[in-house]
């Protein structure tokens, strides 16, 4: 049987019972989800979008994903190093390609700019 085969009242009642017994927690789920996505090399924008698609409340998304946290710069450095090693881009076209990869992973333009600026030194 699927969830849609049950009356919404019964489902809501069961979820409330699980919450009361501390067996279901949106907060724990969000924390675990964010931790998993960080481990897979995703940035804050990608993670926030996924959480929104899953229906996670704004407050929880903001609690577990702070786009301004300096840890994201460490995360982008790690993702970049795993993908490209210590090799700087040969030209602007290659830098643009790498930037698109990092944007797809959910890093902001600011994070990407700082990464390339730091790596030029």
6 pLDDT tier (thresholds 50, 70, 90)? confident
121 pLDDT tier (thresholds 50, 70, 90)? low
pTM confidence score: 0.81
**Nearest-angstrom CA–CA distance, 32 and 4:** 26
Rg (alpha carbons) of the chain, rounded to whole number: 19
DSSP type of residue 5: G
**Nearest-angstrom CA–CA distance, 77 and 114:** 10
Give me the domains of the chain, ranges plus CATH numbers.
3-64 (no CATH), 71-120 (1.10.10)
Cα separation values, 11 from 6, 16, 25, Å:
7, 9, 15
Please indicate whether residue 22 or residue 12 has the higher confidence score (pLDDT): 12
Q: With a cut of 80, say whether residue 42 has pLDDT above it.
A: yes
Q: With a cut of 60, say whether residue 68 has pLDDT above it.
A: yes
């Amino acid at each position: 049987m699927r969830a849609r085969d049950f009356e919404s009242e019964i489902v809501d009642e069961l979820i409330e019972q699980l919450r009361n017994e501390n067996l279901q927690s949106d907060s724990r789920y969000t924390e675990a989800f964010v931790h998993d996505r960080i481990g897979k090399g995703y940035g804050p924008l990608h993670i926030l979008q996924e959480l929104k698609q899953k229906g996670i409340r704004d407050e929880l998304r903001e609690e577990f994903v702070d786009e301004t946290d300096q840890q994201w710069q460490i995360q982008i450095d790690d993702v970049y190093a795993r993908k490209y090693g210590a090799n700087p881009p040969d030209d602007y076209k290659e830098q643009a390609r790498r930037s698109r990869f990092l944007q797809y992973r959910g890093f902001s333009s600011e994070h990407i700019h700082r990464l390339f600026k730091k790596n030029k030194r």
